[in-house]
Structure 1
Amino acid sequence: MTLDGPTLIGAAATAASIASFTPQAWKIIRTRDTKSISAGTYVLTVTGFALWLAYGVLLGQWPLIATNAICCLLSAFILMMKLLPAEKKKAVAEAIDPSD
């Protein structure tokens, strides 16, 4: 792999895309609060990442596959936590972070 301009931009885009979901997921784990999360937005987000993932698979482009697989998993986790009943949401959050 060469570290040319497009590769560096792609790596930065990957890092930013993945990092953008991490604070929201962690906040949900810590607070168990998803009231302000839009389920509709996350349905579209998960769908978009799943489609980008399929596109990457069809093209055999590992950067697209890896980035969109990770983003799809993070956004699907946020959507799942939004849709779960409170007691199950708490159980998932406690399994991930038992300190609370």
Structure 2
Amino acid sequence: MDPASLVGYAATLCSVTSFVPQAWKVIRTRDTAAISLRMYAITVLGFALWLTYGILLGQWPLILTNAVCLLLSGFILAMKLLPRRQRRAVAAALDPARGG
């Protein structure tokens, strides 16, 4: 594998790793009060645009990174937008051991 691809995959690991703890915290606590709606809306849009850019270039590190980050940030944004009852139901489905 060439050095540029290695850097791209390392960036993927860092980017994904940065969103997983936030998504898991939302699932565990069911709390999104401290999350900025505007920031996550812009972040989701940014990842969608980067994903599109990667697809247009056919660059797998860009595609992989931004697809996973779009999924994670989109999930966090969706949880922020959901009413409390629905947010708790989604979180309970994803973490049944914690309950509602």
TM-score under structure 2 length normalisation: 0.93
Which residue, 66, 85, 88 being the options, matches 1:87? 85
In the alignment, the residues of structure 2 paired with residue 65 and residue 47 of structure 1 have an alpha-carbon distance, to the nearest angstrom, of 15
Query: How far did residue 22 of structure 1 move?
Result: 0.3
TM-score under structure 1 length normalisation: 0.93
Q: Which residue of 1 aligns with 2:18?
A: 20
Structure 1 stretches lacking a partner, 5+ long: none
Identity of aligned residues (%): 63
Q: Which residue of 2 aligns with 1:5?
A: 3
Q: How many residues align?
A: 98
* Secondary structure of 1:64's aligned partner: helix
Tell me the C-alpha RMSD between the 2 structures. Answer: 0.9
In the alignment, the residues of structure 1 paired with residue 26 and residue 42 of structure 2 have an alpha-carbon distance, to the nearest angstrom, of 19
Moved over 3 A (4+): none
Taking the TM superposition and a 5 Å limit, the aligned residue runs for 1:54-93 are 54-93=52-91
